[in-house]
Structures are given as structure tokens and as C-alpha cells.
């Protein structure tokens, strides 16, 4: 199979769904955030605080390009679609899944999680603006869209497997 990339906003379930999908398809799973932490030796919060978001985005694009193109599942960071070069890279791929989740559901899921610098100030207006600006970018980048609302992880994985191309 060609590698499957999962895109979507923070809290859409990319990490847990990627792990379940990888088990189901018996392929390794990668997470761009984890690869960034591994290669820089710093947490995401630290990179944002000491090097800035622009540096984070630079590393994120490099990490994306280095992911295996076959036999893998790749969960991406919610902001990966912000860079045009990442969108162009992903649009060439056969299996890019946008996990659509309503903003109200996302807010519930990420409440109390302080590992995401862009949601840390508890600023819901900023989160909403970011969410709305990214929706069209996820849609133009992905070729499969799955609405995750009210669905269990195994049900979402079933749907993805049904719709994936080889
Ligand atoms: C970000 C999402 C995060 C992480 C970083 C920035 C974003 O990943 O890459 O905090 O800009 O939406 P998750 O989507 O896995 O939370």
C-alpha cells in the first residue's frame, strides 16, 4: 500500500486513529510531532518557546518529506496544511485522510491539555479563527474525508480501510 497520511485539527483523533489503523493493516505508524521531538531533543512547547513557530514549521516540513512513502501510516500535526509546500506534497499522495470533527467536540477533547502551544491560552476565539481558516486547507489537501462525530475509533478505522486506495 501507499503510505496513508492523516490530517485534521488538534484533537481530531489523528494519533489514536493512526495507531489503530496501523495495527489493523500491520504497518508501522509515524507521528510528525513525535519525529520532531526526537530529532530536536525538545518538547513541542519548548520549540515554540525558544525557537519560535517558524522554526517548528521548518522542521515539520522536513520531517514530512522524510516519512516512508510505502507501507506506513503517518499522523500529521494539525498545522501541517498551513504551508503550501506541504499541501502540494500531500496532494500527490494516494491516501490522505481528513478527519473532520466539529469545533465544539474538539474544544471538549482538548480541555485541560497543556501540550499544545496554540491552544494554551484558553483563547477560544483564536482557536475558532484557526479552525475556520484551516478547514478549506484540509479539504483541498485530502482525498478522503471522514466525519468522526459520534463514531468509535474501530468504526472510523473500518470506514477509512473501506475507502483507501492501494
Ligand atoms: C499544531 C498541532 C499540534 C502540534 C503543534 C501545532 C497546530 O499537533 O503539531 O502544537 O498548529 O495545529 P496535533 O494536531 O497532533 O495536536
Q: What is the CATH number of the domain that holds 94?
A: 3.40.50.300
SS3 16: helix
Beta-bridged to residue 31, according to DSSP, are: 75
Assess if residue 155 is contained within a domain: no
Assess if residue 31 is contained within a domain: yes
What atom in ligand 1 is closest to the CA of residue 36?
Answer: 9
Q: Whose CA is nearest to atom 8 of ligand 1?
A: 77
Q: Whose CA is nearest to atom 9 of ligand 1?
A: 77
Assess if residue 104 is contained within a domain: yes
**Predicted pLDDT of residue 133:** 97
Assess if residue 165 is contained within a domain: no
> How many Å lie between the centroid of ligand 1 and the Cα of residue 116?
6
> How many Å lie between the centroid of ligand 1 and the Cα of residue 162?
27
Rounded mean pLDDT of 77-92? 98
Confidence class for position 121, pLDDT limits 50, 70, 90: low
> How many Å lie between the centroid of ligand 1 and the Cα of residue 32?
9
What atom in ligand 1 is closest to the CA of residue 33?
Answer: 9
**Predicted pLDDT of residue 166:** 58
**Predicted pLDDT of residue 55:** 96
CA angle 43–30–133, rounded 5-degree value:
70
> How many Å lie between the centroid of ligand 1 and the Cα of residue 150?
22
Assess if residue 163 is contained within a domain: no
| Number of domains observed in the structure of the chain | 1
Assess if residue 157 is contained within a domain: no
State pTM to two decimals: 0.95
Assess if residue 17 is contained within a domain: yes
- Per-residue model confidence as pLDDT tens digits over 138-153: 999 999 999 998 899 9
Write the CB contacts of 104 (distance below 8 Å, at least 6 apart in sequence).
none
Which residues have C-beta atoms less than 6 Å from ligand 1? 10, 14, 33, 44, 77-79, 116-118
Q: Which domain holds residue 70?
A: 4-150
CA distances 129 to 119, 120, 126, 132, Å, are 12, 15, 5, 5
Assess if residue 161 is contained within a domain: no
Q: Whose CA is nearest to atom 15 of ligand 1?
A: 77
What distance in Å separates the CA atoms of residue 85 and residue 19, rounded to the nearest whole number?
A: 26
Rounded mean pLDDT of 106-129? 80
Rounded mean pLDDT of 39-45? 95
Q: Whose CA is nearest to atom 4 of ligand 1?
A: 77
What atom in ligand 1 is closest to the CA of residue 10?
Answer: 14
Amino acid at each position: 500500500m501507499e503510505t496513508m497520511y492523516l490530517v485534521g485539527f488538534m484533537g481530531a483523533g489523528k494519533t489514536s486513529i493512526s495507531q489503530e489503523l496501523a495495527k489493523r493493516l500491520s504497518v508501522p505508524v509515524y507521528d510528525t510531532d513525535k519525529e520532531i521531538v526526537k530529532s530536536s531533543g525538545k518538547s513541542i512547547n519548548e520549540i515554540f518557546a525558544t525557537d519560535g513557530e517558524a522554526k517548528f514549521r521548518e522542521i515539520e516540513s522536513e520531517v514530512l518529506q522524510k516519512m516512508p512513502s510505502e507501507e506506513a501510516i503517518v499522523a500529521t500535526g494539525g498545522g501541517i496544511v498551513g504551508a503550501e509546500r506541504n499541501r502540494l506534497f500531500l496532494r500527490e499522495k494516494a491516501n490522505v485522510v481528513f478527519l473532520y470533527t466539529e469545533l465544539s467536540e474538539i474544544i471538549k477533547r482538548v480541555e485541560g491539555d497543556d501540550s499544545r502551544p496554540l491552544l494554551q491560552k484558553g483563547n477560544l476565539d483564536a482557536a475558532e479563527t484557526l479552525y475556520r481558516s484551516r478547514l478549506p486547507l484540509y479539504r483541498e489537501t485530502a482525498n478522503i474525508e471522514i466525519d468522526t462525530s459520534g463514531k468509535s475509533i474501530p468504526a472510523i478505522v473500518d470506514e477509512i480501510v473501506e475507502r483507501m486506495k492501494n
